[in-house]
Amino acid sequence: FQGAMAMFWGLNMKPERKYSQTIIKSFHISGVALDKGQEAKLYLAAEKQEYIVATVTKAIPQVALDLNFSKGDRIMFYTAGDASVSLLGYLHDIDSGS
């Protein structure tokens, strides 16, 4: 159990905001959960393409995801709707060679 939180990855997203980065450590996103508000559509933009990856509402407050991102990938997440959401996942060990 020691050091387990070092492997956790999370992002709290505010409504209608964009979050972009070039990945410096590979990670996996396991799910998205509704925090406050009524509804949010979660979008992913990568390689000049945009994808809707989940819609969360009061009726469906959490959605399982299976998204992997590698070191060097340039990605952007954003939401449409009035809700804030949390993305949850974990870091991969593959970058360190362990």
Give this prediction's pTM. 0.83
The CA distances from residue 59 to 63, 80, 92, in Å, are 11, 17, 32
Strands of the chain (E only): list them: 8-13, 18-22, 27-36, 39-46, 49-57, 62-69, 74-81, 84-91
The CA distances from residue 15 to 79, 80, 96, in Å, are 6, 7, 34
Q: What pLDDT score does 92 carry?
A: 80
Per residue in 35-55, pLDDT (tens digit) is 999 999 999 999 889 999 999
Q: What pLDDT score does 67 carry?
A: 94
CATH class of the region 4-91 = mainly beta
Q: What pLDDT score does 47 carry?
A: 87
| Domain residue spans of the chain | 4-91
Per residue in 16-40, pLDDT (tens digit) is 899 999 999 899 999 999 999 999 9
Look-up of token digits 């060679």: 97
Beta bridge partners of 46: 49, 75
> Which DSSP letter does residue 61 get?
-
18's CB contacts (< 8 A; 6+ apart) are: 76, 77, 78
Average pLDDT over residues 68-73: 92
Q: What pLDDT score does 3 carry?
A: 46
Give the span between the Cα atoms of 28 and 22, in whole angstroms.
15
What average pLDDT does the structure give for the chain? 89
